Amino acid sequence: MLSLAFPAIDPIAISIGPIAIRWYALAYIAGLLIGWQYVEYYCTKTPKIMSKNDVDDLLFWATLGVILGGRIGYVLFYNFDYYIDNPANILKVWQGGMAFHGGFMGVIVAIILFARKRGISILAVLDAAAVATPIGLFFGRIANFINGELFGRATDAPWGMVFPNGGPMPRHPSQLYEAALEGLILFIVLFVLSRSAFVRHRPGILGGTFVAGYGLSRIIIEFFRQPDAQLGYLVGGATMGQLLSIPMVLAGAAVIAYALKRKPIETRVHPKDDPKSKDGKTA
């Protein structure tokens, strides 16, 4: 059976004595830092919603939401039985185990708290975070590929790969599919939409597009990705990733519909810069 050779890249990018820095950690850092710069760029091209200081602070809130939400989500959705028997291991994040859907919910909570604290539109902050998130997803999936984890189902496609921990059968390089669909393509879609004044003046369209777009992309990818061994196939042969993504598609569509019904925003300034603002709150 034809297959491509898996590129044996050392998961450890830099090693200095006992200190080892993995590609996965660098992917998180790159995603957050490049995403942060892109949000600053986005805010200069849209009605002024967040100041530069707000964008800087949002990075901290989002990072906290990703890490806490991602870990809690993995524990609850993907390996609850193990961690209920070994609660001390929940804190051992260096052993791996992060879930996107948990990280997503963590970021949503962080966005709501951040926006309310600063008196900024929740939907506007969601839009800003949404346009940059595919960057982090792209780097994260590339890191998954380097680690040889989250590989796909067995295939006879000529681009199938034999992964180190995937047995002797060639498998779909589903991590690369995800990097392309959830990362690159979704980024391009959001970038194109963000260039439209119609979209920029209707907070929620970009955020809803990301949420629905990711959910749809993940549902498709799961048909090629090997289900987690401890879960396997669930209701109707669906995977946990698909079941968790269905609500995202529905929620994203609802946010888009809500944004389209609202009156477009012609001008918007940061509350601190708005002399007419009495309470510092915007819609």
Per-residue pLDDT reduced to its tens digit, 95-143: 667 888 999 999 999 999 999 999 999 999 999 999 999 999 999 999 9
Q: What is the DSSP string of 146-205?
A: HHT-S-B-B--STT-B--TTS-SS-B--HHHHHIIIIIIIHHHHHHHHHT-HHHHTSTTH
DSSP code for 57:
H
Q: What is the DSSP string of 199-258?
A: HHTSTTHHHHHHHHHHHHHHHHHTTTBPPPTTT---GGG--HHHHHHHHHHHHHHHHHHH
- Classify residue 13 as exposed, middle or buried by CB count within 10 Å of its CB (0-12, 13-18, 19+): middle
pLDDT at residue 268 tops 80: no
Query: Long-range contacts: 190-199, Cβ < 8 Å, 24+?
Result: 190/130, 190/131, 190/134, 191/131, 194/42, 194/45, 194/46, 194/131, 195/45, 198/264
| pLDDT value for 61 | 93
**Is 200 annotated as a binding-site member?**
no
* Residue bearing tokens 């603002």: 277
Q: Mean pLDDT, to the nearest integer, of 47-70?
A: 88
Per-residue pLDDT reduced to its tens digit, 182-229: 999 999 999 999 999 899 899 999 999 999 999 999 999 999 999 988
| pLDDT value for 1 | 55
pLDDT at residue 60 tops 80: yes
Pairwise CA distance, residues 120 & 282, whole Å: 6
Pairwise CA distance, residues 180 & 21, whole Å: 25
| Percent of the chain surpassing pLDDT 90 | 61
**Cβ within 8 Å of residue 184, ≥6 positions away:** 134, 138
Q: What is the mean pLDDT of the chain?
A: 88
**Cβ within 8 Å of residue 173, ≥6 positions away:** 4, 145, 151, 152, 159, 160, 161
